[in-house]
Amino acid sequence: MRRILDVSKGNKKLTLTVYLTLIGFVFLTAFGFISWYNSNIKTSSTLFTAVFFGVINLYLLKTKYRDFTRYILSIIVALIGLSLLAFGGQDATGYLWTFPLMAMALAVLSVREGMCFAAAYLLGSFSVLFLPLGSETFVHYEPVTATRYFLSAFALCCITLVLVNIQENTNRQLRLKTVKDDLTGLFNRAILDHNTIEQINLARNERSDYLLLIDIDHFKKINDNFGHSTGDEILVILGEILNTSMRDSDLAIRWGGEEFLVILQRCPSVHAQKIANQIRIEFEQNQRILQLLQRPATLSIGIAATSQNLMFDKALSLADSRLYKAKSQGRNRVVFSE
């Protein structure tokens, strides 16, 4: 569940990566020419190298490797920061730019990734500040200045990571409220937004995700004969059965009315059919339903799988046709093949 919710978070991080890469491209190009004009060759070389990798990053953002662009941006930022700290930059004020650079890098990373970045950057800055580098081209800082910088950088990393953590938790909670079905506690259709479906489609070359489209047989008659409160109770029971049948990587969704969708990730074909039949049998034999209706309720289930040649939308359409085939064959069954 958390992985699905993190898809939207990842998309926001990528959006931020795009803007920061574009802004960085403009500023680094400008400062690169200024440094070159002032004969500060080391600084200009560093900045133009960063611009080159920034262009590569912008290209990767249009490909399936766009998830890596956040890491590339962070590495570029770290190298620029350490270079400015080591060489001093324009008028030995380069270290002042490292603070916004650190915050920028941490903003596009998750908390765990940010902790790794902060540890690596602080280790590198400690080496530049306190270890004898043995070259006149490097800036030598007074011990007091070096200590103040290091402690300030450490504090900035800690504060930024706390803020990122708060933002991630808040976004996750808000997202959870919008994608939950109030009655069953399962996800609703909103969980399958464009970004989530895109992630499923991108992964279909590496794995098959099985879709189980489930419908409660004669549900309208249940509502008509026993009332909507009983119908709601039946839906809740099915939601509980689906929850207990799912692995952490799976996804159970109330698709609408009495229809439910289950997405089984990285699931063998035999296991998908086994889970579908297990859900069907458990629902049919549920004692609470037997007490409510004085007879069993049944399910019809259609199964389809994503693959290299079958994207999510087409797989869902195929599962839907197999669901109605199950109903036309007498209901209370699972249909996996035509």
Instruction: Please give the chain's pLDDT, 338 residues, in tens.
Output: 444 444 444 567 888 888 888 888 888 888 888 888 888 777 788 788 888 888 888 888 788 777 788 888 898 889 888 888 888 766 777 788 899 989 989 988 989 999 999 999 999 999 888 887 666 557 888 889 899 999 999 999 999 999 999 988 888 888 777 888 989 999 898 888 766 777 676 666 666 789 999 999 999 999 999 999 999 999 999 999 999 988 888 889 999 999 999 999 888 888 999 999 999 999 999 999 999 999 999 999 999 988 767 788 898 999 999 999 999 999 999 999 75
- The pLDDT, as a whole number, for residue 115 is 95
DSSP state of 144: H
Catalytic residue among 168, 198, 206, 258: 258
Residue 4: its pLDDT value, please?
43
pLDDT of residue 3: 47
User: Do the Cβ atoms of 274 and 280 come closer than 8 Å?
Assistant: no
**248: CB partners within 8 A, 6+ apart:** 1
**What CATH number should be reported for the domain whose range is 189-335?**
3.30.70.270
Domain ranges of the chain: 2-178, 189-335
Q: Which residues contact 206 (CB under 8 A, 6 or more apart)?
A: none
- What is the phi-psi region of residue 138: left when phi exceeds 0, alpha when psi lies from -120 to 50, beta otherwise? beta
Do 219 and 227 meet the contact criterion of CB atoms below 8 Å apart? Answer: no
Nearest by Cα to 256 from 204, 297, 316: 316
Whether the CB-CB separation of 196 and 4 falls below 8 Å is answered with: yes
pLDDT at position 92? 72
The predicted pLDDT at position 276 comes to: 95
- 258 part of the active site: yes
Q: How many CA atoms lie within 13 A of 276 on its CB side?
A: 32
The per-residue pLDDT for 204 is 64
What is the C-alpha separation between 63 and 285, in angstroms, rounded?
49
| Cα 25 to Cα 77: distance, rounded to the nearest angstrom | 12
Closest Cα partner for 265 from 314, 312, 324? 312
310: β partners: 307
Read off the tokens for 134. 């043995």
Q: Which pLDDT does position 1 carry in this prediction? A: 46
Give the pLDDT confidence score for residue 38 in this predicted structure.
Answer: 82
Beta carbons within 8 Å of 187's beta carbon, 6+ residues apart: 1, 4, 179, 180, 181, 251, 252, 253, 254
pTM: 0.61
Place of tokens 């890098």: 105
Token match 């709601």: residue? 232
CA distance 84 to 96: 9
By the 10 Å C-beta count (0-12 exposed, 13-18 middle, 19+ buried), 172 is classed as middle
CA–CA dist 262, 255 (Å, integer): 9
- Residue 193 structure tokens: 């937004």
pLDDT value of residue 137: 59
Record the tokens describing residue 195, joined without a space. Answer: 């970004």
- For residue 160, CA distances in Å to 74, 165, 172 come to 14, 9, 18
What pLDDT does 99 receive?
A: 93
